[in-house]
Amino acid sequence: MPDEKKSICEEQNFDSFFKKEAKSLFSYLSYRFGNSEQANDAVQEAFVKLWQNCAEVQFEKAKGFLYTVATNLMTSVKRHEQVKLKYSERAVQINSGKANNESPEYLIIEKEFMERLTQAINELPERQRTAYLLNRVDKKTYREIAEVMEISVKGVEKLMHKALIKIQKIIDEGVG
């Protein structure tokens, strides 16, 4: 049966797709998360979402859908971890008395900037956002990002350049 006539909703097709793709998705997410437990959870959740949306996903686009869902899950988890870390650091500052050095005006400006930065990152195209987050959040080198994204280092440089320009533009628009 040709791929374009296959349906990912058919249990046999889904099972064979799972057996074919689960291991590589797990490897990809393990590298991205740096944690096999989180990677395993994301793999399971991505396949559940694929199954739930199987009627809308063409068989030949299932892999792309799966990796997009998994990358979005990973980004969401990383963002949540950053928020938790930020608030725990803030709690330590408050408890140690170091937080009183910042004026309320500074805190408001910082909060507005962080909101604009988050908005700008969310508005980036998927590949730019992935490259940006791998570099700025995960502290990956361009070479490491190139390996993960399966592109050249020059490709990563271009994605980062475009991402930084777009982020700067969005932040500048919010200031004016």
- How does pLDDT run across 35-59, given as a tens digit for each residue? 788 889 999 999 999 999 999 999 9
- Residue 1 above 60 pLDDT? no
Report the mean per-residue pLDDT for the chain: 85
Instruction: Looking at the structure, tell me whether residues 155 and 107 fall in a common domain.
Output: yes
Instruction: Looking at the structure, tell me whether residues 117 and 142 fall in a common domain.
Output: yes
Q: Which of 88, 115, 134 is the last residue of a domain?
A: 88
Q: Which of 88, 117, 145 is the last residue of a domain?
A: 88
Distance CA 71, CA 127 (A): 10
Q: Tell me, yes or no, whether 126 lies in a domain.
A: yes
Q: What is the CATH number of the domain that holds 136?
A: 1.10.10.10
pLDDT, tens only, 64-89: 999 999 988 888 888 877 877 777 77
Q: Tell me, yes or no, whether 95 lies in a domain.
A: no
Instruction: Looking at the structure, tell me whether residues 3 and 54 fall in a common domain.
Output: yes
Q: Determine the structural domain holding residue 26 and report its residue range.
A: 1-88
State the pLDDT at residue 47.
Answer: 94
Q: Tell me, yes or no, whether 93 lies in a domain.
A: no
Instruction: Looking at the structure, tell me whether residues 80 and 109 fall in a common domain.
Output: no
pTM of structure: 0.48
Q: Tell me, yes or no, whether 98 lies in a domain.
A: no
Overall number of domains in the chain: 2
